[in-house]
Amino acid sequence: MDRRRIITLLSVARVGVGTVLLLAPRSMGRNWVGTVAEDRRAALVIRGFGARDLALGLGTLRALARDEPIEGWVQMAAAGDASDAVTGLIAASSVGPLRTVPTVLSATAAAALGLWTLRPDRTAPAAVEPRTD
């Protein structure tokens, strides 16, 4: 899979997550942080995360469509994902492992994959064919 396709897939996912967090912060937030998401103040913060992801995803997709530089968008998205992973670890004792693990794993994977696309050799390695002898 080439770099452009990976970045597109990450960006589409980011738009989807951002939209859902923005439009339904309480119901989506419960999966993320628990019942505290019912608090209007928590919903405000969750919407902020959604707006961030929506803007980063749309900005990246726009840059891709216009053949504009995307490195800055990818770097900022990876920074947001890395921040989500770190804050997820910090909050682990408050939200529990069932909420922490998916958050930290998905955020870490998205950050790593985004940064991987910025490497000079941007083509995913081909699958190794099994030996037949």
Helices 3-23 & 71-90 angle (0-180, nearest 10)? 50
| pLDDT surpassing 60 at residue 122 | no
* pTM recorded for the entire structure: 0.84
| pLDDT surpassing 70 at residue 81 | yes
Domain ranges of the chain: 3-115
What integer pLDDT is reported at residue 126 of this predicted model? 56
pLDDT in tens, 91-113: 899 888 998 999 999 999 999 99
Identify the top-confidence range among 54-63, 83-92, 98-107: 54-63
| Residue with token string 């119901």 | 27
Q: What's the rounded mean pLDDT across residues 18-26?
A: 95
What integer pLDDT is reported at residue 14 of this predicted model? 96
